[in-house]
Amino acid sequence: MHILPFHLYHEVCFNISGRISLLNDPKISEVPLGALGRTVSGLHNYANFEPVACPASELCNVSGYQWVCTSCKTHDTMPGELTGAGWNRFNAAAVYNGFISVCLRADDFWLPQANHIFQRLNLNSQHEDYAFVHQVIFTLHIPAPTRPYPGGYLFACPAEHLRTDTASFALPRCPWFWSLDPSGISRLSRENAESLGFPMVQQNTDAFGRRWNTNVYDGLRTFHSAKGFDPYSQDLAKHLGCHLMELPGDKESLHAHVDVDDSLPEAEANDELDKDTKGAISQSSADSGHGGNRHRYW
């Protein structure tokens, strides 16, 4: 046990001992990726999912994630072409009767601090009722056109537009659009696209969680103690460079922000921003807007 490395023991627990649960619900719109939640009465869906702990800092840099097209007929996959604005472009003919998706994953930072969180929650049993949300998949289904259609392109939003909070993700109001222009500058409204013969895209969100029984957590506690770490602290998680988790009552999560010099008049401060930068910020905010009442869990 003393010579077994942490990553190997945790990998075995995560991939073999963990039981995969599909957490989905028709009302789901926002997923607390990396959160620990309780599944009520053994029903594994978001209508019965109650988050009790979440990452205390920004979970991951999703800018490197790309949408991938999968053919329903051949199951071949093809990544989209990145445009200058970060949108993923797909040739319309290549996506018909298929789907494009992007998958976000949370690293295994739960197991190194699991017993610490359970102690804080005063949980000594029924650990299998709690699931760690480790993956969310956003999918756009594109049906085959029912009549002749023009050549064109489907654009999917940058992955960063999916972030709604430190560790929460959701599809924005407009995650996709059709265009006859390969640059995507001239977007077709959904009404115009439909009138030209482009099919309506169907959106879907799926989240996946893993659960472990009490014996696994007992083994983790023994293993961590044998390695010289207090299993009821976050010392090991800090040692391994893991994201730390917190409870709802803990101090607010840290968020990235821009410091503004309050000594400058408002007009002068605005002049400090480059015009092109302000334009880019404005466009990005419009593209990544998350509006309406969301079915949130955090």
Q: How far is it, in rounded angstroms, from Cα 158 to Cα 196?
A: 25
**Which of the pair, 39 or 135, is modelled with greater confidence?**
135
What residue spans define the domains of the chain?
6-254+263-287
pLDDT class of 84 with cuts at 50, 70, 90: confident
CA angle centred on 288, ends 145 and 23, rounded to 5°: 75
Tell me which residue of 158, 196, 195, 152 sits closest to 176, measured CA to CA.
158
pLDDT class of 181 with cuts at 50, 70, 90: very high
What percentage of residues in the chain have a pLDDT greater than 70? 77
Query: How many Cβ atoms are within 10 Å of 155's Cβ, its own excluded?
Result: 23
Is a pLDDT exceeding 50 seen at residue 280? no
Identity at 205, one-letter amino acid code: T
Q: State the DSSP H helix or E strand holding residue 225, giving kind and residue range, or none if neither.
A: helix 214-226
Torsion of CA 111, 253, 43, 293, to 10 degrees: -160
Is a pLDDT exceeding 50 seen at residue 257? no
pTM score:
0.79
- The mean per-residue pLDDT over the stretch 162-181 comes to 92
Q: How many CA atoms lie within 13 A of 140 on its CB side?
A: 25
**pLDDT at residue number 62:** 76
- The mean per-residue pLDDT over the stretch 272-298 comes to 44
Q: The tokens of 76 are what?
A: 């071949």
**Which of the pair, 75 or 159, is modelled with greater confidence?**
159
What percentage of residues in the chain have a pLDDT greater than 90? 47
Is a pLDDT exceeding 70 seen at residue 213? yes
Going by DSSP bridges, is the β-strand pair 68-71/77-79 parallel, antiparallel, or unpaired? antiparallel
Q: Across-strand partners of 178?
A: 154, 188
Q: The tokens of 77 are what?
A: 């996959």
pLDDT class of 42 with cuts at 50, 70, 90: low
pLDDT class of 47 with cuts at 50, 70, 90: low
